[in-house]
Amino acid sequence: MTASQNTTALKIAKPRDKAQDIAKGVSILLVILFHTFTMPVWFKTIFSIACVWLMPFFFTLSGYYYTPGKKTKKENIIHRTKQLMIPYFQYSVGIWIITTVYNLIRNTYTIGQSLYHYLTFLVSRNTLILLGLEPIKSDMTIVPNGIKFTTVVVPFWFIVMMMFSNIIFYLIADYALSNKKRLISILALLISTSYLINLGVEAIGFGLPWNIQNVPMGTALMLIGAQYGKTKILAKEAVSTKWTIINTLVAYAISAVIQLKYPGIGSWAGGTFRTYGAIEVFPCVLFGIMSPFMVISISRLLEKIPGLGFALSWVGARTIPFLFVHWLVSSFVSIFLKLQAQPLGAALESLLNCFITIAILVVYRIVWELILKTIKTKKAAKANA
């Protein structure tokens, strides 16, 4: 790319939209609520209607800020892989050390068992099942007197799928976005590929390693987000307040009808469609298309509330550490509250767990960032001395 091309690309780069950071903040807080709050049956229905868009939304929004020509394919892939995978390994190793030390103190797991748990995490439990090294079972409980590492790193699946989806996305984005007919054809190919692979997954009874059967669909959602960015359809000035409200209400109405008929469909839970099977690919894509209108419209209203908009955008800028750490924190909180298993205890106790978990996460990030800022300041002062 020439210097003039690079300058042009930088000029057309889309500025940050605070409402979208707020939307990310709202979304990650809802993820934490889902993972830590034992919901009554009636609340689950409401929650699924209101929040079924969560996982598809993160993938759609991930593609929104893509600017064609700003970087080469290789540069984009390297940058995004580092951005996702460096924290992935840093946090996973840190969490493994914490859980291993705790389990040794509690005499729950040996070093060998803990190492096996980390190996399972790295290569994917589905890989071990394919190789016949682990039976098909699900252990989502807190072990008495201990914490199983593979339980508290369950949310990490999201980052691996995001990385694979990003690699494919950056390889084909410029070609796919060059005209609408091409984009539609490629979207159809990606979505149908995920659907067909998921049919095979249904036949064997468990997912592929790292749930790669849904990576094509993740790529499709990112392309949809990139097209939104290209057309500026989510920009504040794109539509009037009236049509923003109408679009939001219509999107929620469609979501409510689908969820009342098929509760939980299209939620993309854990990267594998466990409830309705391969057919869930299609409502998942639909929610990915509708979700930006559903959540960003509300976020534009929250942006106007003094203090709240700032707090939510602050959280939204820190979704990865919140995603990585919240289940570990919640597990220790549940032990402190004497809750025995996931989902965590009775409704009121688990709601308390949720609030305490969020409070600890906020304090953790404030303190950690203050430490990093202090170190950076001292290094700068030393360099200038």
pLDDT of 137 reads 57
Q: What is the 8-class DSSP label of residue 207?
A: P
SS percent in the chain: helix, strand, coil, step 5:
75, 0, 25
pLDDT of 266 reads 86
pLDDT of 312 reads 94
C-beta of residue 286 within 8 angstroms of C-beta of residue 266: yes
The set of residues, in sequence order, having a beta carbon less than 8 Å from that of 279 and lying 6+ positions away, is 195, 265
* Chain-centre distance for alpha carbon 98: 23
Averaged pLDDT for residues 76-104: 95
pLDDT of 77 reads 95
Q: Which residue has the higher pLDDT, 145 or 318?
A: 318
Three-class SS state of 237: coil
The set of residues, in sequence order, having a beta carbon less than 8 Å from that of 21 and lying 6+ positions away, is 312, 313, 316, 317
- Per-residue pLDDT of 9-38, as tens digits, reads 444 445 567 888 999 999 999 999 888 887
Averaged pLDDT for residues 45-64: 86
| Residue labelled with tokens 């030390």 | 101
**Which ranges in the chain belong to alpha helices (H)?**
3-12, 18-36, 41-51, 54-64, 73-105, 111-123, 125-130, 149-152, 157-176, 180-204, 215-231, 241-261, 281-302, 308-316, 319-336, 347-384
- Per-residue pLDDT of 163-180, as tens digits, reads 999 999 999 999 999 999
Tokens, residue 150: 């593979």
136 — pLDDT class (breaks 50, 70, 90) = low
